[in-house]
Amino acid sequence: MSTEQVAALAEEIQRLAALADGGGREAARAAFARLRAELSAGRVRAAEPDASAPTGWRVNAWVKQGILLGFRSGSIIPFPSADPDQPYLDKDTLPLKRLDPASGVRLVPGGSAVRDGAYLGAGVICMPPMYINIGAYVGDGSLIDSHALVGSCAQVGSRVHVSAAAQIGGVLEPVGALPVIVEDDVLVGGNTGLYEGSVIRRRAVIAAGTVLTGSTPVYDLPNGQLIKPGDGMPVVIPEGAVVVPGARAVTAPAGRDWGLSLATPVIVKYRDDRTDTRTGLEAWLR
């Protein structure tokens, strides 16, 4: 699809999105089918790199409007399951992604699902059971491990390891909200939660059990500073940062009296060329 065709599709989706529920249903289904094909091919993205943006990423709000059209204009139908007497039920506009050996993707048997409208680059490995939702982008050579989630519109770079049970949250509304961004060569540890448009710069390491939201303050020990979101900016984890779960004391009087503390992410070091990702992380966690 050419730049002009993409612009025309965006205009059509924005027009249809402005109609009341039920208006232009067949046109909405057709526009969404075209959008889904472009998302699946990686030619259109819910968010894309933009050096001029404060976070380095630009949201394509019309893409999320189009995905919402797909939900709105679909009808619930049965989908085959292992039990013929209990089929899956979902919107007919949201089928599973069709993959073949030419894609270079490994979808290992065992109960995983990838919705059509998600992009998977060459060499992506999907370990069962994991789930990748519509609008998500997963770059070349990344691994999505068992019980991991890549939510709607989340953007995952190349050579990223999303470890077992990690949750990369999705976002469809508000349509202008930045999805979670995980840039190239990031290690996302097991049982990690990345939510609310948090941005993880390239080569960062997020240790197992760390939870980051768009409003989470992060304590940067090497630089002696507090990384805080604000003015519409989500939290941004710097390039090469190694982030582990930490705790900070509750300063309210009752909290001090009771000896309470709150969980908080802490940057304990920054990666360098001499430090292997896992070796460096394990040294800090011991």
Q: Tell me the C-alpha distance between 172 and 40, whole Å.
A: 17
Instruction: Tally Cβ neighbours within 10 Å of residue 237.
Output: 28
Question: What number of helices (H) and strands (E) belong to the chain?
Answer: 5, 26
Q: Tell me the C-alpha distance between 92 and 90, whole Å.
A: 6
Q: Tell me the C-alpha distance between 134 and 260, whole Å.
A: 40
Q: Which domains does the chain have, with CATH numbers?
A: 3-73 (1.10.166.10), 100-272 (2.160.10.10)
Using left for φ > 0, alpha for ψ between -120 and 50, and beta otherwise, residue 270 falls in: beta
Residue segments in the chain with a per-residue pLDDT below the cut of 70: 20-23, 274-286
Q: How far is CA 251 from the centre of its chain?
A: 34
Q: In the numeric block, which tokens belong to residue 52?
A: 């001029």
- Residue 206 phi/psi, 5-degree rounding, is -110, 110
Nearest to 134 by CA among 105, 97, 188, 98: 97
CB 115 within 8 A of CB 133: yes
* pLDDT at position 230: 82
Strand spans (E) along 31-147: 47-49, 57-59, 76-79, 88-91, 106-107, 113-114, 119-120, 125-126, 131-132, 137-138, 143-144
* pLDDT at position 152: 97
Q: Tell me the C-alpha distance between 283 and 156, whole Å.
A: 26
* pLDDT at position 283: 53
Nearest to 150 by CA among 213, 192, 108: 192
* pLDDT tens track for 156-177: 999 999 999 999 999 998 888 9
pTM metric for this prediction: 0.93
Sign of the alpha-carbon torsion through 15, 19, 25, 26: negative
Q: Tell me the C-alpha distance between 222 and 266, whole Å.
A: 10
